[in-house]
Amino acid sequence: MKVRKAVIPAAGLGTRFLPATKALAKEMFPIIDKPTIQYIVEEAKKSGIEDILVVTGKGKRPIEDHFDSVPELEQNLEAKGKDELLRLVEETTDINLYFIRQSHPRGLGDAVLMAKDFVGDEPFAVMLGDDIMDDKVPLTKQLINRYEQTHASTLAVMKVPHDEVNKYGVIDPAAQTHPGLYDVKQFVEKPDVDKAPSDLAIIGRYLLTPEIFDMLETQKPGAGNEIQLTDAIDRLNKIQRVFAHEFKGQRYDVGYKFGYLKTSIEFGLAHPEVKADLTAYIKELAAKLK
């Protein structure tokens, strides 16, 4: 079955960015001139996704408004001949977006469960706004390609420094069935560093079969007393195969302050409008810091 749907969970409290996240979803924070969620939506579109459900908590309105048309603005840009800006504004509306509210942030697994009716009986992608991914083939498309070979759930994983594994879901890999595609013995959420089965961490892209909802409906709270998607996936793996696909591209973690700053700088250094000034500024600053 073709993968047509994606879910973007955006209902977390975003405590690492308080107080900014008191009233604003962190998915609306801009990297240069685009909110992070727009990068995710663009990856979904490039991967052939047709319908996206955003699971929101607070701060839903700005997300909805961002992807809606703004006739006054568009007319104004048109009248002034600002065609490039008009194109940028219009391209954000070219996607089928749906919204649902997760009234209590009980965890990522609970947020994904909110998508049960939207997803129905189809395989679907889960895309987290904390991670912006860059590769020749978009990561979600890589997972869809794997699904087309295996018809099984497949998670994106990436090697992370060993002392950071306790921040992630981690896999216990078995054999590679194809280069870069692992059979998995176990999925463990936030293991202690000395007990982690590997350094292959689950990053923010998943391709799941709809049977995940049977697991989520009966999933007990795990790490942090939250309903963990990783725990439900580990149970799914006991009734149908779940694979891990190793991502070799570039991952930008914008879910914490330093990662967000680094991403802003790197994207700025590649942005035609600001890269020259930013390069000069960084050199000047570096000279002062010596």
Q: Measuring CA to CA, which residue among 113, 187, 119, 112 is closest to residue 155?
A: 187
Residue pair 255/130 in contact (Cβ under 8 Å)? The answer is: yes
Stretch that binds ligand UTP, among 126-134, 153-161, 168-176, 260-268 (CB under 6 A): 126-134
Distance separating alpha carbons of residues 190 and 164, to the nearest angstrom:
9
Stretch that binds ligand UTP, among 10-18, 151-159, 208-216, 246-254 (CB under 6 A): 10-18
Q: How far is the CB of 111 from ligand UTP (least distance, A)?
A: 3
Q: Which residue is nearest to ligand UTP (CB)?
A: 12
Site size for ligand UTP (CB under 6 A): 20
Answer yes or no whether residue 59 interacts with ligand UTP by CB under 6 A: no
Answer yes or no whether residue 105 interacts with ligand UTP by CB under 6 A: yes
Calculate the CA 190 to chain-centre distance: 18
Q: How far is the CB of 284 from ligand UTP (least distance, A)?
A: 33
Q: How far is the CB of 75 from ligand UTP (least distance, A)?
A: 35
Distance separating alpha carbons of residues 199 and 163, to the nearest angstrom:
9
| The dihedral formed by the CA atoms of 199, 128, 107 and 96, expressed in degrees to the nearest 10 | -150
By CB under 6 A, name the one of 36, 37, 77, 110 that touches ligand UTP: 110
Please calculate the CA angle 103-235-171 and round it to the nearest 5 degrees: 100
Which CB sits closer to ligand UTP, 15 or 218? Answer: 15
By DSSP bridging, strand 242-246 and strand 153-159 are: parallel
Interface residues toward ligand UTP, by CB under 6 A: 9-16, 55, 102, 105-108, 110-111, 128-130, 255
